[in-house]
Structure 1
Amino acid sequence: MTDILASTDDATLAARGPYDLFAKWFAEAAATEVNDPNAMALATVDETGQPSVRVVLMKEYDDRGFVFYTNFESDKGRALLANPVAGLNFHWKGLRRQVRINGTVAPVSAAEADEYFAIRPRDSQVGAWASSQSRPLASRATFEAEIAAVAARYEGQDVPRPPHWSGFRIAPKRIEFWQDRPFRLHDRAIFTPVAAGGWTVHRVYP
């Protein structure tokens, strides 16, 4: 495992951009983490200023940002629509690494959401219709009955994407790469975008 963060100077890191480093770290995480290397903590703030954090799965990323999918009527969906900023944290414990991201949030296009929904397992597609996510649930039996009703409704045909189910893209305003070091003398490099395009990099004390 190459220690890119320690062995590469800031100017070179900035020229390559954060997605180059993220891709290398993510590939190593995918090869070594036992479960869900794409798991990320998502922090939101609702319309009352109340923060909340939960783990979601990143489904794709590119130079526009990091994407996950959800029910827009869920707690996180409503929070992001009301206050479209978020924090992300990837923590790969086995590699002793973190990537922290802060940025603005916007829904993905309908075409992107349709494309991703179409490749989900059918049971997951049915569940997107049956689950009133974050709402009170009287019993598990109630939920299972709703799942069965939706499955029957679409038997023999494709399950369409619910209008309330889509994705969010977090466009980074700050990306921090954190590498564990002995005695808590960690290495931290922060990428921030510049108005003219590209990125700057600076280090901070652990």
Structure 2
Amino acid sequence: MAVTKFGLLTLLSASAVQVSGDSGLQRPARDAVLNQATPQGCFSTLPSKTSLVQEGTFMTTGQCLSQCQNKNKSVAILYASKCYCSESYPAKNSLVDDEQCNYNCPGYAPEACGGLNPRVYSVYNTGLDLDPAYDTGEGKDDNLSITGSGTTTQDVRTTWVSTSTTTYTTPETEAEETSMSTAHAEQTSQVAPVVNETLAAATPSASASTVPENASPRLSNPIGNFIRMMAHLL
């Protein structure tokens, strides 16, 4: 596989970071150089906008720098086996003594990959931007996870709450419903039946008489004759 000039310079710069001396110590910060990796110090926080791009058992400064350069990030940050990339340095007020970054990189012991107690981070300039800004926020802790594309994600837990509605019928409610039903029945019984007025007018009254006014009753039995005679005498 062909090695580009830029890649070779990166490896050489990473090697330059590994100066002789006590193993696992942060190299002193120095001015950034174009296309070269340079140490920028030991910090106690991460920048607000940071991506965790790799976590490996054999992490080295050169490996992390290469990852961040490929993503066009100007700042590479190491903590134990983790590699972060950012567009800015951590907050300037989080700069601590280099001696606190004393954790040996898993892949190469002479290099420092931050510190565990307290938690601190080794910060490098990748050589793409010679003057990145310092983070102006409060920074953030190491609570990031890696996705397939190397972007930063945070665990989100969603709790679904199932709700149900139960209707209870109390004795008072039942009594009220019974009272309403009784009142409705009484009101219905008081409604007068509707009579078809046309039908009532066409129906003759039971008291109406069809006998002519000058007609008199006929008495054909003896009692009737007696009564008639008495009427004439009177």
Is TM-score (shorter-chain normalized) higher than 0.5?
Answer: no
> Quick check: which has more Rg, 1 or 2?
2
TM-score by length of 1: 0.22
Q: Would you tell me which structure has more helix in proportion to its own residues? A: 1
Q: Would you tell me which structure has more strand in proportion to its own residues? A: 1
Answer 1 or 2: higher relative contact order, Cα 8 Å, separation at least 6: 1
TM-score by length of 2: 0.20
